[in-house]
Structure 1
């Protein structure tokens, strides 16, 4: 291609910006894949609130579930702080929240107690979740010393994840949305959170499956069925030993 042809090609490029797909004002997803119709008709108002410590990589995921949680709960019942270390000066009021006596960290450590054992007479709890993959969650925990000082709780549940378009490490792993919903239901003894908050996830998965996505089994299932295509590393082997506990 000579110089004249190059300039002719450039001259044919439209000066108008490309037409963007219409976005939903609430979930900020393209309208065609919006799941807002499945949100609770009225935002749920639990006594406790969810505090998400979100790894920056989670924000880039197009199929993340944290926005479903934030839009499904009443305002200020789901606070999201972003970073790899907490708290930092940019995290307004987070340090005060983490130091409150009614704050608990949902993290499967050896000292974690069943969330159902918490005193139900307390008015409310700050339930802290680390939003990220398991390696990211461990890194955030290790780089944030304040987290090890918080009372730690865990979920004991036989629930299987409804996030069937994403491969989970083990059968007991839940998405951020499902983990928060299960924690609120167990803590407040009310299934409304697990019944209503995960409905947008069903809509999301159905759309993806209707448009070429496939159902994903957990790595644990694939390994037990001799279908896992890779060698099992030490980290995954250790993770598989922790069954029926909350894992990011």
Structure 2
């Protein structure tokens, strides 16, 4: 294992991870890392912690008040946002509307971005369990464009062949953060480009170890087999 990127030597990403890590001038990133997701070999939150400064990670099933109060000593964020799709009773601001909804000018350039890193099922549970703390922070829910009527991978589905998302438009934690930073950071386009480059390289290396899957013929139930006979 590589001691720096914590990946197998054959799939080491040190050649693509930015050194030193990139600095965000506006945003502090907080990752609430579900215990189950922390064991997944293709988890992308680790790549964020290696690629960006101002990132804190908490292994937890929900956001706790202590996670916010224990932030590193610095000016308190004037605005808190969290990434998650809208739901009945919980509308969300789209990325395209985000800059119009928050003021990041002058002295108000401190933003706390919270992401829940988990499977979609667990992430929904985590957000629901965190609602009290999020409301106390006045956190704004921010969403990407997700169409639950379509099945498919992420917006990078031509390359991300390793972890299938439940709906067309769903993305990994790293992708979601990269797209958000593109909007809120002065150098957002460059930050997004570098982060997506790291992710694409991880996918390229991992894909080299995939074994071809032979299509399996669909098996019929015995009752259907009898009908055909």
TM-score when normalising by structure 2: 0.72
Q: Is the 8 A contact 1:36 1:200 kept in 2?
A: no
Q: Partners of 1:180 and 1:33 in 2: how far apart? A: 23
Q: Partners of 1:107 and 1:132 in 2: how far apart? A: 12
Q: Partners of 2:141 and 2:126 in 1: how far apart? A: 15
Cross-structure match for 2:155: 160
Q: CA deviation at 1:116?
A: 3.1
Cross-structure match for 1:44: 22
Q: 1:212 to 1:177 in 2, by over 3 A?
A: same
Matches within 5 A, 1:53-202: 53-74=32-53, 77-87=54-64, 93=70, 100-109=77-86, 110-114=90-94, 115-117=98-100, 118-121=102-105, 122-144=108-130, 145-149=132-136, 150-156=139-145, 160-161=155-156, 162-188=159-185, 190-202=188-200
Q: Partners of 2:212 and 2:4 in 1: how far apart? A: 27
CA displacement 1:136-181 (0-9 Å, x = unmatched): 1111112222124422222349981353311011121111111111
Structure 2, unmatched stretches of 5+, are 148-153, 214-229
Select the structure of larger CA radius of gyration: 1
Q: 1:178 to 1:127 in 2, by over 3 A?
A: same
TM-score when normalising by structure 1: 0.67
Q: CA RMSD in A?
A: 2.8
Q: 1:27 to 1:153 in 2, by over 3 A?
A: same
CA displacement 1:86-129 (0-9 Å, x = unmatched): 217688716x99x9542112222342213233223121200011
Structure 1, unmatched stretches of 5+, are 1-22, 216-248
Aligned residues: 189
